[in-house]
């Protein structure tokens, strides 16, 4: 793994740099919007959302600290009752924790495709790990309800995020 850090190319790189507060609020808002697409699955406590796309785009679009702070703000607001979370059962805690770490992982990997693959691996591992603890599932069960149903959709979201990442790096 190449550990060369990079500075993301900002959308407004030809103009004044955005403030961290604007980046943080934008990331939190993007995540909140990403849960508006919420498809419950009868065989899984985890619904389909656009959150992985939002997290991946945020990791490439703004500074890693702003991305993590925006994700943290989203999580904090959800914890105090804002209707942001995809589910209120607690099933998604592992995914949310992985979202917080994703910007730091992505920033350490130079190639966007590799960064996205590593981020998705982290998100799946932490999500399934939490499902094992929270739901008392064995590893195979956690993968069947918390990873397998999402692979195809997440591959499409990852491809779209890759396109955005490449565009941002031009």
- The span from the CA of 168 to the CA of 57, in Å, is 10
Burial grade of 8 (CB within 10 A; 0-12, 13-18, 19 or more): buried
Give the DSSP letter string of 73-116: HHHHHHHTT-TTSS-SSSTTHHHHHHHHHHHHHHHT-SSHHHHH
Which residues does 106 contact at the CB level (< 8 Å), separation at least 6?
Answer: 56, 59, 60, 64, 115, 116, 118, 119
* pLDDT tens track for 109-166: 999 999 999 999 999 999 999 999 999 999 999 999 999 999 999 999 999 999 998 8
Residue 2 has pLDDT above 60, yes or no: no
* pLDDT tens track for 49-106: 999 999 999 999 999 999 999 999 999 999 999 888 877 788 999 999 999 999 999 9
CA-nearest of 64, 51, 58 to 108 is 64
Which residues does 115 contact at the CB level (< 8 Å), separation at least 6?
Answer: 59, 105, 106, 108, 109, 165
- The span from the CA of 91 to the CA of 45, in Å, is 6
> How many of the other CB atoms lie within 10 Å of CB of 100?
17
Token pair of 156 as six digits: 């499409």
For 72, which DSSP code? H
pLDDT of residue 89: 84
């Amino acid at each position: 793994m190449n550990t060369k850090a990079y500075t993301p190319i900002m959308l407004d790189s030809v103009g004044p740099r955005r403030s961290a507060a604007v980046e943080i609020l934008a990331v939190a808002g993007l995540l909140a919007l990403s849960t508006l697409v919420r498809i419950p699955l009868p065989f899984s406590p985890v619904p389909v959302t656009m959150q992985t796309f939002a997290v991946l785009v945020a990791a490439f679009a703004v500074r890693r600290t702003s991305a993590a702070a925006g994700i943290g703000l989203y999580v904090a607001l959800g914890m105090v009752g804002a209707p942001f979370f995809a589910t209120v059962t607690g099933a998604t805690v592992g995914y949310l924790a992985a979202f917080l770490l994703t910007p730091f992982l992505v920033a350490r990997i130079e190639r966007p495709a590799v960064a996205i693959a590593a981020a998705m691996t982290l998100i799946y591992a932490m999500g399934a790990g939490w499902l094992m603890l929270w739901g008392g599932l064995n590893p195979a069960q956690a993968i069947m309800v918390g990873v397998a149903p999402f692979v195809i959709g997440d591959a499409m979201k990852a491809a779209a995020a890759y396109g955005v990442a490449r565009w941002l790096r031009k």
